[in-house]
């Protein structure tokens, strides 16, 4: 059976009962009927892992208690049963060992962000992917929204002229109080340096903001001036991020991200100001993109309407006015990965599939590292290489 005539098979590492993002990955992968879950190691606790797998109707012999068993088992299976890729949705500290092991074993990977803890790990992973020539997607899921892709196309094709200024902001309120002290599982690991890494809000949502900015504008960060805060009582990692940035060509940018903004839900917004127009997108109204052209009335572009670019249109499932959301955007990342994997199964090397790659993940890790460096510096600007 050729790859074109069957669903792709994947395994999941992490994402057991009570986890948030694993379930999102599964729904995203299932949505379009292109991908099926066939194996898993859903928790670092073997009992919980297996119980979680039974919830998902997994076959007993592919429902593993740890990711090492999953990997070993897959390597023993014949190609026609073997997974086409693995999805890694564990807390951050496990991204690196799991991803490295699966890449080294020749598997394609989808990994959540931030990719890994250190630039060294990131570089090792980039090297491994290049060596193995595998597919490696990073779920910077916000780039999966059709109107983000429309925005990218408009910025890069010059519809708003030269980029002059960028503001990206990401406000949440869920860490406004010390929820980690009352047993919120996600808050617990996200505020724990051992699991989350040295960056708190910076790693969790600041990295999304960086990727969105970079993905849409294509401009690298050249210099950073950071003021990070830790406002939650008893917390050690940052929960409030304030950055002045200089992008390639001296373009000024402001990046603010915070998880202590009471009442803010998932308020990610990107504004790009060009010499002949402005674009403004908000994640909470993801089907809308404001375009303010110089000297004309503001225009509200909507997902699914006529005249959008191919990348936006291809990422769209429903007509205008029929809301798509977070899962659909997430699913677009999976569709991009699947396109690349199918191409390889068919013997070609797809390069146009639209999803964030291991290099994007690595760039995010470098960025986090440089922001932390700036936050400890008294110099206004910390330069990026």
DSSP character at residue 134? -
- Which of the residues 131 through 190 are near its own copies (CB under 8 A)? 160, 164-165, 167, 169, 172-174, 176-177
Q: Which is nearer to its own copies, 196 or 374 (CB)?
A: 374
Q: What is the DSSP string of 164-232?
A: EEEEEEEE--TTSS-GGGGT-HHHHHHT-HHHH-S-SHIIIIIHHHHHHHHHHH-PPEEEEEEEEE--S
In angstroms, the CA 51 to CA 15 distance is 12
Shortest gap between Cβ of 175 and its own copies (angstroms)? 12
Shortest gap between Cβ of 163 and its own copies (angstroms)? 11
Shortest gap between Cβ of 182 and its own copies (angstroms)? 13
Using CB under 8 A, which of 6, 48, 77, 344 touches its own copies?
6
Q: Which residue(s) pair with 85 in the sheet?
A: 10, 108
Is 326 one of the binding residues for its own copies (CB under 8 A)? yes
Cα Rg, the chain, nearest whole Å: 21
Q: Which is nearer to its own copies, 171 or 357 (CB)?
A: 171
In angstroms, the CA 186 to CA 21 distance is 10
In angstroms, the CA 96 to CA 298 distance is 45
| Closest to 363 (Cα-Cα) out of 385, 331, 334, 379 | 385
Shortest gap between Cβ of 88 and its own copies (angstroms)? 19
Using CB under 8 A, which of 130, 236, 322, 346 touches its own copies?
322
- Which of the residues 293 through 312 are near its own copies (CB under 8 A)? 293-302, 305-307
Is 324 one of the binding residues for its own copies (CB under 8 A)? yes
Tally the residues of the chain. 385
Q: Which is nearer to its own copies, 128 or 237 (CB)?
A: 237
Is 230 one of the binding residues for its own copies (CB under 8 A)? no
Residue whose tokens read 């491994």: 128
Shortest gap between Cβ of 350 and its own copies (angstroms)? 20
Q: Which is nearer to its own copies, 119 or 293 (CB)?
A: 293
Shortest gap between Cβ of 157 and its own copies (angstroms)? 17
Number of residues binding to its own copies, judged by CB under 8 A: 89
How far from 138 is each of 3, 135, 334, 346, CA to CA, in Å? 23, 10, 10, 23
Is 17 one of the binding residues for its own copies (CB under 8 A)? no
Residues 287, 308: contact at Cβ < 8 Å?
Answer: no
- What is the token pair recorded at 43? 């928790």
- Which of the residues 41 through 70 are near its own copies (CB under 8 A)? 54, 56-57
Please provide residue 131's backbone torsions phi and psi, each rounded to the nearest 5 degrees: -65, -45
- Which of the residues 234 through 293 are near its own copies (CB under 8 A)? 240, 242, 244, 246, 252, 254, 256, 258, 260-267, 271, 273-278, 283-286, 291-293
Shortest gap between Cβ of 128 and its own copies (angstroms)? 31
Determine the distance from the C-alpha atom of residue 252 to the mean position of all C-alpha atoms in its chain, rounded to a whole number. Answer: 24
Q: Which residue(s) pair with 274 in the sheet?
A: 163
Residue 182's CB is within 10 A of a number of other CB atoms, namely 9
Q: Which is nearer to its own copies, 119 or 229 (CB)?
A: 229
Shortest gap between Cβ of 7 and its own copies (angstroms)? 6
How far from 297 is each of 277, 290, 291, CA to CA, in Å? 11, 11, 9
Is 118 one of the binding residues for its own copies (CB under 8 A)? no
| Closest to 159 (Cα-Cα) out of 279, 63, 69, 46 | 279
Q: Per-residue string for binding with its own copies, 349-368, x by CB under 8 A? A: --------------------
């Amino acid at each position: 059976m050729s790859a074109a005539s069957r669903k792709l098979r994947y395994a999941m590492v992490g994402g057991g009962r009570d986890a948030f993002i694993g379930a999102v990955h599964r729904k995203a992968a299932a949505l379009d009927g292109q991908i099926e879950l066939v194996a898993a190691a859903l928790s670092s606790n073997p009992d919980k892992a297996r119980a979680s797998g039974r919830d998902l109707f997994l076959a007993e012999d592919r429902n593993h208690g740890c990711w090492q068993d999953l990997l070993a088992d897959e390597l023993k299976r014949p190609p026609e049963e073997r997974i086409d890729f693995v999805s890694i949705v564990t807390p951050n500290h496990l991204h690196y060992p799991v991803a490295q092991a699966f890449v080294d074993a020749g598997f394609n990977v989808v990994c959540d962000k931030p990719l890994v803890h250190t630039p060294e790990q990131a570089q090792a992973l980039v090297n491994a992917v290049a060596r193995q020539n595998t597919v490696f997607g990073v779920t910077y899921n916000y780039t999966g929204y059709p109107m983000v892709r429309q925005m990218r196309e408009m910025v890069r094709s010059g519809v708003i002229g030269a980029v002059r200024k960028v503001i990206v902001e990401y406000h949440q309120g869920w860490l406004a109080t010390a929820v980690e002290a009352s047993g919120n599982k996600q808050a617990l690991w996200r505020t724990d340096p051992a699991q989350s890494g040295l960056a708190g809000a910076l790693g969790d949502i600041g990295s999304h903001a960086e990727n969105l900015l970079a993905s849409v504008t294509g401009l690298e960060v050249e210099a950073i001036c950071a003021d990070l805060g830790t406002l939650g009582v008893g917390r050690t990692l940052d929960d409030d991020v304030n950055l002045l940035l200089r992008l390639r060509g001296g373009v000024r940018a402001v990046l603010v991200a915070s998880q202590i903004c009471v009442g803010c839900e998932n308020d990610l917004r990107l504004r790009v100001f060009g010499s002949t127009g402005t674009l403004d997108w908000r994640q909470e109204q993801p089907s809308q993109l404001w375009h303010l052209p110089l000297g004309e009335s503001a225009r509200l572009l909507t997902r699914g309407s006529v005249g959008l670019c191919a990348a936006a249109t291809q990422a769209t499932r429903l007509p205008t006015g029929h809301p798509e959301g977070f899962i659909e955007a997430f699913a677009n990342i999976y569709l991009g990965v699947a396109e690349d994997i199918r191409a390889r199964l068919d013997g070609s090397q797809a390069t146009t599939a639209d999803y964030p790659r291991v290099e994007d993940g690595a760039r995010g890790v470098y960025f986090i590292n440089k922001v932390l460096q700036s936050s400890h510096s008294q110099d206004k600007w910390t330069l990026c290489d």
